Amino acid sequence: MLLNKTVFVVDDDEELCQSVCALVSSLGGAARAFASAEAFLERYDESLRGVVVVDLRMPGMSGLELQAELARRNSHLPVIVLTAFARTPTTVRAMKAGAVTIIDKPYRDDELWDAIRTALAHEEAAWNVQKRRQEIHRRLLTLSAEERQVLDQIVEGKLNKVIAKELGLAVRTVEKRRHDVLAKMGAGSIAELVGMALEARPLETSSRLGP
């Protein structure tokens, strides 16, 4: 489970950073320490595998701000935020947004390690989802504009006849394009095609709105 995965420890308190690294390495895992969220983001790219353990309050970017930034970048990395006192509305909101675990300090002996393990398990699944999404996204980019138009109508559940009428095309033309889309996307059925389109939507929106 720990194969190829790293625990990224982000904390301005060097002692705490080192102690988390020690804990991870005692279990045969790899850990890397960063003194600030900014320092971590500098090294970040989407191929990183593992989990981020970050302190809530730090000078500069806080733990929650780091988590939000990773989400914006469509990172699949789970985030564990360590906090010194009772949860605030901000932390609760962050938890609802998902992909984040909050641990209150001081924690019981296994609490942090359990959280890391759970997070790593989720990371495996998230990584797969991410991989798949990226593949679908890649395939979507091979569609021509006309094919893309037809796909969008299909996802909305419209029949060929309706699509032909709305786009001012012959029904035969619509049928041909649908056939090409299925082939390019590698989907076995219309149902599978719609599923793929929906699955890739997060990446779609972010690539449209992104920088």
What is the binding site for other proteins (CB under 8 A)? 13, 15-16, 18-20, 22-23, 25-27, 57-59, 82, 84-85, 105-110, 112-113
What are residue 78's phi and psi, to 5 degrees? -70, 150
From residue 31, alpha-carbon distances to 18, 116, 211 in Å are 9, 11, 31
Rounded to a whole number of angstroms, the minimum distance from the CB of residue 118 to other proteins is 16
**What count of other Cβ atoms lies within 10 Å of the Cβ of residue 207?**
14
List, in order, residues 6 or more apart from 136 with CB less than 8 Å away. Answer: 185, 196, 197, 199, 200
Smallest distance from other proteins to CB 58, Å: 7
Choose between 104 and 180: whose C-beta lies nearer to other proteins.
Answer: 104
Q: For other proteins, give the closer residue by CB, 19 or 206.
A: 19
CA distance linking residue 116 with residue 149, whole number of Å: 44
CB of 53 to other proteins, least distance (A): 10
Work out how close the CB of 22 gets to other proteins at its nearest, in angstroms, rounded to a whole number: 4
Which CB atom, from 13 or from 192, has the smaller least distance to other proteins?
A: 13
